[in-house]
């Protein structure tokens, strides 16, 4: 009888251990970020440590949602497939909320919203309009809203696609393209760099197109994960209301990145 009791205790202990392990695993979230550098939002230093506004925001949102998160760098062109195949659990990589993407994935509420801009060779007179960019070579990153916007609105320009925005910036600095389109803050970081100062300036923000550019950047989620979505929406609101959002943002920006 004593052996049976001990055996049952062992089974119960094993079951409790399994339950505890499963519970921890369920709360461990792999957060997909783009493996390519995208300062000031996310980039790895010489030691391979990720830093930037979005990296700090991931930490703040996960803490507010009581989620155990770990960063999972994924190439930009594979980040949505990584989410849908469950290699990662959510995306926080400056991904804009668009109707096209929502055919495949879901999004949280926005956590920032900034305009798209054109930066070009400072020796060339141009602005961010289709007429001004006609005949120019415009570089854009593949798989982005900026590529889609350029294809729709700048059909008179020669569109050149790149795997990363950094490659487009380097070609602009080298004179191989005339301009590039990307998020205004990411381009501002480039223009303020030594390389950017020498070659380029901001030509202006592009005209709004809500269908393509969307209402802002949100956390990408698998469709149907409503519980996780509710946690993240509440966490984003809590981070803003607590002042943590402003505390993080003022390290990087002199204005409210959240937008209207």
Provide the residue ranges of all domains of the chain, joining segments of one domain with +: 2-113+215-249, 116-213
- Specify the pLDDT at position 28: 85
Residue 52 pLDDT > 90, yes or no?
yes
The CATH class of the 116-213 domain is alpha beta
Instruction: For residues 230 and 98, give the distance between their C-alpha atoms in angstroms, rounded to a whole number.
Output: 19
Give the architecture (CATH level 2) of 2-113+215-249. 3-Layer(aba) Sandwich (3.40)
Please write the tens of the pLDDT for every residue from 28-41.
899 999 999 999 99
Instruction: For residues 230 and 107, give the distance between their C-alpha atoms in angstroms, rounded to a whole number.
Output: 11
Q: Measure CA 98 to chain center.
A: 13
Please tell me if the domain spanning 2-113+215-249 has the same topology as the one spanning 116-213.
yes
Instruction: For residues 66 and 172, give the distance between their C-alpha atoms in angstroms, rounded to a whole number.
Output: 43
Please write the tens of the pLDDT for every residue from 188-236.
999 999 999 999 999 999 998 999 999 999 999 999 999 999 999 999 9
pTM of the model: 0.83
Segments of the chain assigned E as strands: 28-34, 43-44, 50-51, 68-74, 90-91, 106-112, 116-121, 137-141, 158-162, 179-183, 200-205, 217-221
Please name which of 66, 67, 70 lies closest in space to residue 55, comparing C-alpha atoms: 70
Across 17-38, average pLDDT: 67
CB 46 within 8 A of CB 6: no
Helices 226-242, 53-64: crossing angle, 10 deg rounding? 110
Please name which of 149, 225, 183 lies closest in space to residue 53, comparing C-alpha atoms: 183
SS3 167: helix
């Amino acid at each position: 009888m004593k052996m049976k009791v001990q055996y049952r205790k062992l089974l119960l202990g094993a079951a409790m251990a399994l339950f505890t392990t499963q519970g921890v695993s369920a709360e461990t979230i792999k957060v997909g970020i783009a493996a390519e550098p995208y300062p000031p939002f996310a980039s790895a230093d010489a030691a391979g440590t990720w830093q930037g506004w979005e990296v700090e925001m991931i930490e703040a949102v996960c803490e507010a949602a009581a989620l155990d998160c770990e960063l999972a760098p994924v190439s930009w062109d594979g980040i949505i497939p990584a989410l849908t195949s469950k290699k990662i659990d959510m995306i926080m990589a400056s991904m804009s909320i668009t109707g096209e993407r929502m055919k495949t994935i879901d999004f949280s509420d926005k956590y920032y919203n900034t305009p798209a801009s054109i930066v070009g060779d400072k020796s060339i007179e141009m602005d961010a309009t289709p007429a001004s960019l006609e005949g120019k070579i415009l570089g854009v990153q593949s798989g982005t809203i900026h590529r889609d916007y350029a294809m729709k609105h700048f059909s008179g320009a020669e569109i050149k696609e790149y795997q990363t925005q950094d490659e487009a910036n380097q070609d602009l600095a080298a004179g191989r393209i005339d301009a590039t389109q990307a998020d205004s803050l990411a381009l501002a970081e480039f223009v303020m760099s030594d390389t950017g100062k020498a070659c380029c300036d901001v030509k202006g923000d592009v005209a709004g197109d809500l269908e393509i550019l969307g209402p802002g950047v949100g956390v990408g989620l698998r469709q149907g994960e409503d519980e996780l979505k509710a946690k993240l929406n509440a966490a984003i609101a809590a981070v803003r209301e607590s002042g943590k959002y402003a505390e993080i943002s003022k390290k990087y920006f002199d204005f409210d990145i959240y937008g209207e």
